[in-house]
Structure 1
């Protein structure tokens, strides 16, 4: 039997503890240091472990941050593409009804919108984050789907305009007596930046001095030099329809002048942001670019 005698100045006589009381006191003396260690030492270890990245060499720390930034950028791009696809799907559905196109006549990708993912589910098994290659592949597929939706929307707009009261004023005549190049309306690799960019018109390559003609009757609203378009000519055809003729070597008409379809208005050149002599030709409706190919191929 263990007897612990406690002597204190405040006690009139010494106090003797029993076995259970003695064991409880000893356990208290043992446990107290452990508790103090957990309270004061463990947080410091957690802080140290959380600061491991800060202790890495700068080049390794920079590589980790760079990789994460790349993944964040890819994820943001996917979100933006999804939003654009959803908007295009909604717009194309409305345009299809206006154009009298029956359901099921649209492209396959148009009939399988991205929001179909909202109807999926199931237990999460072997979950793992997408790799950088997975994200790139997803972006490429979504970009291709977006291209198809853009092209389909251009066809719908052309059908609506050809049926509307604007059909008589449509710029459906070729602006130059040469064929347009493969660098046509839509997404392409920009010849100067090397990046993927949207081309808002058609390019007609031809020798410097080749005549450019008005694609429809209208009023010249701009005849000036700009950094990107070079010598630029704009013609207003009414009701928000406009044509643009860019990179010319010289302009033969002035703002405010009325022109007729087929009238010579400029000469081809390579001014502005251009890699060689050609005509850059655009059709716009209320400032938005249209695919000129749809109007040239519907011209009879």
Structure 2
């Protein structure tokens, strides 16, 4: 294994080469090379590389640091130029880099892959009249962004898949299910933070025999899924979680919240069709006390 600096340099060189090769592929352009056929200050390579700059300087605080060839170009000109490049260029770069740097001797945990999923917002410039990227962020404000949902191999330190969602279509639950459905490995454990704690997601992962560990809000939280569920009055426990998901918000369900969970958005879920009103959900809840280093 090369040193960290050497490894980063190898990745940097490879990334620049892959971007250049994908930028020269006419299949990644909206109108082949007609958009970049004339001599212009905005080259396809410069525009393609903008998304991969990582330093802090920006134009109007909307784009990361730019190469010298774009430093004096207006934000609107860059935005218009980027509309001529298909999303395939970036997904091709993503998968090619994974192929180059995935470990040949994959590390596992007792034969199991440990795969982590977490979403991140990537702010972008408005794309013409396309409002699909305009949505509400985690901070509450609305802006143009893509929601990236990467699948990360924890032990081998490599991203192996990615689901990109326009801001208006952000849905971490569906992204997790899509990633799990596409994964080709037979033995994998998915780990997710709060935000993926949806009961219907738990049910679907169980139905497809997936293994997962998802952090949930403590029962003291007002919107915890454990709010009405009986749990031991101890700092740590390991108990079964057996409830029935229902689309019926009737008196029987209301008087038995410790065993029934009403799915208010049931109309969106195909599982509640053809007369099906209840779905059994089995899980396991583990609560443990963490200790900070040095304490």
| TM-score tier (shorter) | under 0.3
Decide which structure has the larger Cα Rg and report it: 1
Question: Structure 1 length as normaliser, TM-score?
Answer: 0.23
